[in-house]
Structure 1
Amino acid sequence: MLHAVSRSRKLLLALLSLLTVGLVMPLIGAAPAVAAPPYSGYVMGYFTESPNQSGDSYALHLAVSQDGLNWTPLNQNNAVVTPTAGTQGLRDPYILRKQDDRFVVLATDLKGRVFTENNQYIHVWDSTDLTAFSNYRRVRLHTMNTHSWAPQAFWVPSRNQYAVIYSANNGTRDVVMVNYTTDFVNMGSAQVFFDPGFNVLDADVLVDGGNFYLSYKNMDNGNLYVARSTTGAPNSFTTLTSGLKQGGAIEAPILVKSNTTNTFWLWGDSFAPSNPVFYAWQTTNPGGNSWSTLNQRSFTAPINAKHATISPITSAEYTRLLDRWGAPQWNRLKSYNFPDRYVRHASNVARIDPFPMDPTADQQWRIVPGLADSAGVSFESVNFPGRYLRHSNYELRLAQNDNTSTFRADATFYRTAGLADSAWASFRSYNFPDRYIRHSGYVLRIDVLSSSSAQTARQDATFQVTR
């Protein structure tokens, strides 16, 4: 009996052991599930143009942001990679995070401001984290006698493929075309993706849960629109908005979702090649028709940026981008009550002028320790090193530092909390401590201001230190 019990116990233990191994072994052999890291920042890709073309750069530029609204251009706002084939220039870059958590960069193969040339190809790069770029190639999208503008891509789970969409003319009108690919090398055949019956341009798709939101420009009336599909399939989109527009002309919509709130932004930039100005709206319901205009006080785009792309990034990726490319060694000063204007020098007069402006460097300043007191600051010109903003007869001018005590005192200011908004900045004169830098008739001067000064005067004396 004891032997039988012992044998039964051994058998039971053996069975339990086998069951345990059977349960555990698959867990040991399976790859652990890794949660996607949270996104805490954003990267923007763009090319640049300026009014007199001196700031034109048909190559990929990058900027980063922590809040998705205020941007720090990288590499001194210089290009990080330039095409070497085709036209040897790019427009309309697009950055996509692929399913393997690496990036692919797409761009229009076009250099300059002439849009009559047809091109069946686009530029493509691969990148692990946008600190380097590899496998540069041009891929062919179609055989039509038309262009391939503003390529963009998104993942379609039902197809297990990426959709690459772009603007082209199908022989009837301007539509959005699509090719499906798994590797951005073999692009598949082209087909119509979005044709609402009128000319459209610059499509952008944001995938949010089970919704595919498509923004586009209606070329017949010049407005931007948002449409939605629950499948992302060709010709499955229904337009939701009644049309959005700011400025004289607008194009290149970008849909972005906030990393931290249920806020969606719609960006667009000026159609005029010589006027690289961004506009923006926001909503908490992209499926509705309730976009509110963002004041330009709320955001700052990189200098001369055109037709951008915005993608969320992790904290580690944000840090690597800054470490690799570097933040600018200069700042700009944005006016609080005229947020489309920045402090610049013109014929040595300090003033606020509308952006954009040429030369670009007229609005760039090195904010250095105060010449008379290192606890203060002085503003050195980027394009005229050794020249600083100083007051003379209470007006601010750009002047060569003669290293006298009077010059050093006139060129030194104390940064304080903004008189109109404490999140911004105001600048109090070192040697006339009851006076602050302000604009009057768009010209900068130092005036007596106090807490009882008129609201307009306090706004005139408030600036955002940005890049």
Structure 2
Amino acid sequence: MSAVLSRLAAIIVTVGLLFTSQVFGAAVHAAAAEPGYLMVHFTGDSATGQTLYLAHSTDGLHWSDLNGGAPVLRSTVGTRGVRDPALVRSPDGSRYWIIATDLCVRCGSTYEKGSPHLVVWESTDLVSWSQPRLLNVAGAIPDGRNAWAPEAIWNPGTHDYVLYWATNATLNGVLKYRIYYARTSDFRTITTPRVYIDPPGTTPVVDTQMTEVPPGAGTYRYVRVSGDGRNTVEGSNSILGTWTDLGNLSSLGLTGNVVEGPVWMKFRDRDEWALYIDHLSRNGVREYRPILTGNPFDVGGYRLQAPENYDMGGTAKRHGAIMTLTAAEESRVLARWPDTPAKRLQSYNFPDRYVRHANADVRIDPDVSPADDAQFRPRPGLAGSGTVSFESVNYPGYFLRHSAYGFQLAHVDGTGQFAADATFRQVAGLADPSWSSFQSYNHPDRYIRHYAYQLRLDPITTATGRSDATFRVTS
């Protein structure tokens, strides 16, 4: 077993999945001496591919999918598809944002005319995320036709963030993609967008990603790479100041649309950087591939890595972001998204029916379509040890909860009330001890049961009630 898999196995044992006595989100100590790295990404143009995924690495080169390779965030706003996520941590580590392109290719959106919005999630702990919201960044740009590939970086000179992205717009009679920027302190309101990068003539630029270099590590304070056909590398001592052309990736054979979505990563344990590129390989597969360098300002020293030197894991890793984790962040992330198999809850007295969600309502149905509506990941209970909560597979972050003794699929809101309403004790089946029943955490005299095929939380006093309140946890 690889070191990465061994580490994840240790975490899973610690949190005690499938049903355990551990509290959801409890601190778990990382097995390695140093914390690792977190990647957020999308996978491709399919409906499920245009959601957000997470991967973890202990060394920055070998990656393991979190959450069993299933999505961890799904957009329910705008086009309902997201791509090109950026992951931003506030300077004091108290807040995080994920910012992504609002684009759902092959499900209503087109590359030519898209959304002027970005999709934003917010968190205070890197694991409990707000519901997505839209941020209109291109609406104020004359002829602005879309907003793609957002990134953001903290600007110490102005004590706010520089948010930058690509928009296809007409300027000075030329329609093309340029990089625009605006300033923001909260990713809710922005200053008036301005042109940031505009190559000469009709040359477009789409993807730009920059990183700050530690003092004394090179000629400049910042380095950026832009998808302008040559993948130009530039250096500067000011985010909004003058940038110097340092070369491009053409010597590595990376020109045109062969590469997109560059993202920088500094190795924790040495003076070396990885530049991950969304690379179109010879067999037509597009996925991240790392370039290593000891000096990001010396383009001639960039080394494109051979496949045997890295492992991107089971899912395709497309244009995303990488964060170096603290020990506390890593513990929370690995505890929150272990490889928990998806399960169904089968009715005891209507064995052809399974618990499913439909438009936020919860009931038992036969022949559930789409099948994912009847699949849940049993998580350690949100409110107490030795309990369980049920998270939707196709709406990650949404849990089964009772409200006024009825049931709904609802987005976790971080409150104690929600946690209690979404937490249950798994006990021997009231109608058959080889099956299971689920006792409410905050109303222990009541159990999950179906009535007229709707899920309810009721006291159980009759044989019919005992049958209605009995389920099998099955694959």
TM-score, normalising length from structure 1?
Answer: 0.57
Give a deviation string over 1:80-110, Cα, whole Å, max 9, x none.
1111110011000110111231211000000
Query: What's the offset of the Cα at 1:56?
Result: 4.3
Return closer, same or farther for 1:224/1:56 CA change in 2, 3 Å cut-off.
farther
Q: Distance in 1 between matches of 2:226 and 2:117?
A: 21
**Number of the residue aligned with 2:351:** none
User: 2 CA distance for matches of 1:283 and 1:328?
Assistant: 37
Are the aligned partners of 1:39 and 1:313 in contact in 2 as well (CA < 8 Å)?
no
Indicate if the aligned counterparts of 2:150 and 2:164 stay in contact, CA closer than 8 A. yes
- Alpha-carbon distance in 1 for matches of 2:184, 2:88: 13
Which residues of structure 2 form unaligned runs of 5+? Answer: 1-32, 216-220, 342-475
Whether 2:201 is the aligned partner of 1:208: answer: no
The CA deviation at 1:242 is: 3.3
State yes or no: 1:228 paired with 2:235: yes
What residue in structure 1 maps to residue 227 of structure 2?
217
Cα distance in 2 for partners of 1:300, 1:216 equals 25
- 1:126 is matched with which residue? 122
Would you say the 8 A contact 1:93–1:151 is kept in 2? yes
Q: Distance in 1 between matches of 2:332 and 2:231?
A: 35
Q: Distance in 2 between matches of 1:154 and 1:288?
A: 22
Which one has the largest radius of gyration? 1
The answer to whether structure 1 residue 309 and structure 2 residue 321 are counterparts is: yes
> Is the counterpart of residue 105 in structure 1 residue 60 in structure 2?
no
User: 1 CA distance for matches of 2:80 and 2:248?
Assistant: 39
Instruction: Note if 1:193 corresponds to 2:196.
Output: yes
Q: Which of 301, 305, 310 is the aligned partner of 1:294?
A: 305
Alpha-carbon distance, 1:226 to partner? 1.5
> Any idea what SS the aligned residue of 2:35 has?
strand
Q: Deviations over 1:226-262 (max 9, x none)?
A: 211101115x211212324457811111111111111
Correspondence list, 1:206-285, <5 A: 206-209=211-214, 211-219=221-229, 223-233=230-240, 236-244=242-250, 245-246=252-253, 249-271=258-280, 275-285=285-295
Counterpart Cα distance in 2 of 1:60 and 1:191: 29
**Maintained 8 Å contact 1:124/1:136:** yes
- Contact kept, 8 Å, 1:72 with 1:328, in 2: the verdict is no
**Cα drift, residue 270 of structure 1:** 2.9
Aligned with 2:49 (options 51, 57, 67): 57
Residue 43 of structure 1, aligned match among 23, 27, 38: 38
Gaps of 5+ in 1: 1-37, 330-467
The DSSP-based 3-state class of the residue aligned with 1:134 is: coil
In structure 1, give the amino acid aligned to 2:39: M
Q: Kindly tell me the number of residue pairs found equivalent between the two proteins.
A: 286
Contact kept, 8 Å, 2:233 with 2:247, in 1: the verdict is yes
Tell me, in whole angstroms, the C-alpha distance in 2 between the residues paired with 1:271 and 1:86.
28
Q: Report SS of the residue matched to 2:325.
A: strand
Could you say which residue in structure 2 is the equivalent of 1:156? 155
**In structure 2, what is the equivalent of residue 78 of structure 1?**
70
Partner of 1:446: none
Structure 1 residue runs of 4 or more that deviate by more than 3 Å after TM superposition: 244-248, 271-274
Kindly indicate whether residue 173 of structure 2 is the aligned counterpart of residue 177 of structure 1: no
Q: Tell me the SS of whatever aligns to 2:249.
A: coil
Three-state SS of the structure 2 residue aligned to 1:281 is strand
> Once the two structures are superposed, what CA deviation does each residue of 1:266-312 show, in whole Å capped at 9, x if it has no partner?
11113599723222211111111210111111111141221121111
CA RMSD after TM alignment: 2.5
State the shift of 1:194 in Å: 1.5
Aligned 8 A contact 2:38 2:57 in 1:
yes
Q: Deviations over 1:301-347 (max 9, x none)?
A: 14122112111111221122111110477xxxxxxxxxxxxxxxxxx
> How many Å separate the matches in 2 of 1:155 and 1:76?
32
- Counterpart amino acid of residue 111 in structure 1: C
- Taking a change above 3 Å as real, the CA distance of residues 328 and 224 of structure 1, as seen in their structure-2 partners, is farther
CA distance in structure 2 between the partners assigned to 1:108 and 1:274 by the alignment? 23
Equivalent residue number for residue 116 of structure 1: 112
SS at match of 1:119: coil
Overall identity of the aligned pairs, in %:
27
Letter in 2 for 1:224: N
- Note if contact 1:87-1:109 (Cα within 8 Å) is conserved in structure 2: yes
Contact kept, 8 Å, 1:246 with 1:279, in 2: the verdict is: no
Query: Aligned to 2:335, what secondary structure does the other structure show?
Result: helix
**Greater relative contact order structure (CA < 8 Å, 6+ sep):** 2
TM-score normalised according to structure 2 size? 0.57
